[in-house]
């Protein structure tokens, strides 16, 4: 089974800060990596698919990069509405899926 | 616009079977090459894939839950269902249904199922 790790588990940043979250897979998953945003009491929302592609309608301050085992998710300028938990998710062996443990983002 | 809605009991007794249904509206569950799946999230914890059914009827389960999970589809009602047997308190979670490919695209709002006597 492919395991996913994320770091940090939580972070606090100021409005306008650049925020970076990393996700690591236990084996090579090419670019089969997605990023989701989940706000309290809501279902997750897809932000980035296939490591670096921005989902339609998602603000351009969100971006993703990486391939193989190491991936990065970036918010270029943190906004108050970005307060949420962010999850990475791999699908190297579709339709088997694994999610990362999540990164909770707060405003400092 | 595709919408999904989970339904089922919010309280299940230990050792019994959890049963949930996802009703799909705004599109046909059998007319497109998507998967229809279930994900759960224990309170305050992360997301766990439970299993999925392809539009053709093929099923796929998380190996850690496979012995207890059954997912089925009723195309006449545009619904798919989850059954999880022999539940314990560890199965208490918000259960989400969703349409997906490699990406989980459209989600229900989620339903909290509590396992307690």
* B53, closest residue in chain A (CA to CA): A95
Query: Cβ A96–B49 below 8 Å, yes or no?
Result: yes
Query: Cβ A100–B46 below 8 Å, yes or no?
Result: yes
pLDDT of B7-65, one tens digit each? Answer: 999 999 999 999 999 999 999 998 778 999 999 999 999 999 999 999 888 999 999 99
The length of chain B in residues reads: 117
Asked whether B35 and B104 are in contact (CB, 8 A), the reply is: no
pLDDT of A87-96, one tens digit each? Answer: 999 999 888 8
Interface test with A, best of B44, B71, B102 (most A CBs within 10 A): B102
Query: Cβ A1–B37 below 8 Å, yes or no?
Result: no
Q: Determine the average pLDDT of the residues in B57-78.
A: 95
């Amino acid at each position: 089974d492919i395991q996913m790790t994320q770091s940090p588990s939580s972070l606090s940043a100021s409005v306008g800060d650049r925020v970076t979250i990393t996700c690591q897979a236990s084996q090579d998953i090419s670019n089969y990596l997605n990023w989701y945003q989940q706000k309290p009491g809501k279902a997750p929302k897809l932000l980035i698919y296939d490591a670096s592609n921005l989902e339609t309608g998602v603000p351009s301050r969100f971006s993703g990069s990486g391939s193989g085992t190491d991936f990065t998710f970036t918010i270029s300028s943190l906004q108050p509405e970005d307060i949420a938990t962010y999850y990475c998710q791999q699908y190297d062996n579709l339709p088997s899926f694994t999610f990362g443990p999540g990164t909770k983002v707060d405003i400092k | 616009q595709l919408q999904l809605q989970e339904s089922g009991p919010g309280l299940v007794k230990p050792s019994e079977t959890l049963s949930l249904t996802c009703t799909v509206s705004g599109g046909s569950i059998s007319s497109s090459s998507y998967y229809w799946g279930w994900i759960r999230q224990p309170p305050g914890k992360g997301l766990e894939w439970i299993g999925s059914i392809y539009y053709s009827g093929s099923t796929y389960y998380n190996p850690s839950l496979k012995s207890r999970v059954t997912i089925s589809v009723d195309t006449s009602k545009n619904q798919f269902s989850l059954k999880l047997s022999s539940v314990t308190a560890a199965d208490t979670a918000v259960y989400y249904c969703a349409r997906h490919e490699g990406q989980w695209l459209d989600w229900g709002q989620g339903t909290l199922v509590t396992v307690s006597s």
